[in-house]
């Protein structure tokens, strides 16, 4: 993907399935992203949100995070099967070179197809091109599939926040994982 191309598209083959097309998300993807995400909100502790975002709210998030960081979608045969995005890690200026990342695949989508890895790899490429230095994610535990994906992509465990999310009648821990995009300790360039 080119660093700034809003219409960037490319195909990566996924073993034993149809090719996955990755592209930048658009406001027109909001309803599909919201529908894919809603079951995570209502039926799992993967997301700590209580109410699924509306299509309009999802469109706002796509526009906001797509402009400042990146929001990518994966399609198979023209159907949205997943998305990955990055958002600000923390609001204070010193954190601006660090992004928080998330990836969601449809709960009914086949697993171990490579779609999650392809989305994440493209997201990390985009963030690196924009000048981000570190990425951090939070994974509600237990979630072996997400932990495995992040480890495979070079993330390392940096700590567990114990019993920080109350959802579905139980407390949930949040595993924090981090990956450097750009090594070194020198002064960063401004974000692009």
How far is it, in rounded angstroms, from Cα 47 to Cα 140?
Answer: 7
How far is it, in rounded angstroms, from Cα 13 to Cα 32?
Answer: 22
**Considering the entire predicted model, what is its pTM?**
0.88
Q: What is the pLDDT along the chain (192 residues), one digit of tens a residue?
A: 333 333 333 334 444 456 889 999 999 999 999 999 999 999 999 999 999 999 999 999 999 999 999 999 999 888 999 999 999 999 999 999 999 999 999 988 766 778 999 999 999 999 999 999 999 999 999 999 999 999 999 999 999 999 999 999 999 999 999 999 998 788 888 898
Q: Which residues have a Cβ under 8 Å from the Cβ of 144 and sit 6 or more positions away?
A: none
How far is it, in rounded angstroms, from Cα 106 to Cα 116?
Answer: 10
Q: Are 133 and 190 in contact (CB under 8 A)?
A: no
Q: Are 103 and 70 in contact (CB under 8 A)?
A: no
Indicate the domain borders of the chain. Answer: 9-180
CATH of 9-180 given 1.20.120.1750, 3.40.50.2300, 3.40.630.30, 3.40.50.1820: 3.40.630.30
How far is it, in rounded angstroms, from Cα 82 to Cα 74?
Answer: 5
């Amino acid at each position: 993907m080119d660093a700034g191309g809003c219409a960037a598209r490319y195909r990566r083959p996924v073993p034993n399935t149809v090719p996955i097309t990755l592209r930048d998300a658009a406001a027109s993807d909001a309803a599909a992203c919201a529908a894919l995400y809603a079951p995570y909100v209502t039926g799992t502790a993967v997301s700590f949100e209580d109410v699924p975002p509306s299509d309009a709210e999802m469109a706002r998030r796509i526009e906001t995070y797509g402009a400042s960081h990146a929001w990518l979608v994966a399609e198979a045969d023209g159907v949205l099967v997943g998305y990955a995005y990055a958002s600000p890690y923390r609001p204070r200026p010193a954190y601006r070179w660090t992004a928080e990342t998330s990836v969601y695949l449809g709960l009914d989508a086949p697993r171990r197809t490579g779609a999650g890895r392809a989305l994440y790899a493209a997201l990390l490429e985009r963030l690196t091109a924009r000048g981000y230095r570190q990425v951090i994610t939070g994974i509600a535990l237990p979630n072996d599939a997400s932990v495995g994906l992040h480890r495979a992509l070079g993330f390392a465990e940096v700590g567990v926040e114990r019993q920080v999310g109350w959802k579905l009648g139980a407390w949930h821990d949040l595993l924090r994982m981090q990956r450097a995009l750009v090594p070194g300790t020198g002064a960063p360039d401004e974000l692009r």
